[in-house]
Amino acid sequence: MELIKLISKYNDLGIADVIDHERFNLIAIDHHSTRIEGSTLTEIETQVLINEGRTPNGKPLGESLMVTDHHAALLFTIENAKAKKSLTVGLLQQINAVVMKSTGKVYNTMLGTVDSSTGAFRKGNVTAGVSYFPNFDKVEQLTKALIQKLNEAMSSQLTVDEQLKLSFDAHFNLVSIHPYYDGNGRTSRLLMNYIQAYYGLPLAIVQSENKAAYIQALVDTRQREDIQIFRDFMAGEYAYLLNKEINAFEQMKKPLKGPGFTFLF
pLDDT band with cut points at 50, 70 and 90 for residue 261: low
pLDDT of residue 170: 98
Percent of the chain beyond pLDDT 90? 82
pLDDT band with cut points at 50, 70 and 90 for residue 142: very high
Q: Which residues are catalytic?
A: 178
222 labeled part of a ligand binding site? no
Q: What is the gyration radius of the CA atoms in the chain, in angstroms?
A: 19
189 labeled part of a ligand binding site? yes
Q: What is the DSSP letter of 85?
A: P
Burial class of residue 260 (count of CB atoms within 10 Å of its CB; 0-12, 13-18, 19+): exposed
pLDDT of residue 39: 97
pTM of the full structure: 0.93
Q: What is the DSSP letter of 59?
A: S
224 labeled part of a ligand binding site? no
186 labeled part of a ligand binding site? yes
DSSP string, 100-126: TTTT--EEEETTEEEETTTTPPPSS--
CA-to-CA distance for 190 and 170, rounded, in angstroms?
Answer: 10
Instruction: Give the residue among 72, 79, 92, 86 at the shortest CA–CA distance from 29.
Output: 72
> Is residue 257 predicted with pLDDT exceeding 90?
no
23 labeled part of a ligand binding site? no
Structural domains in the chain, CATH included, are 2-247 (1.10.3290.10)
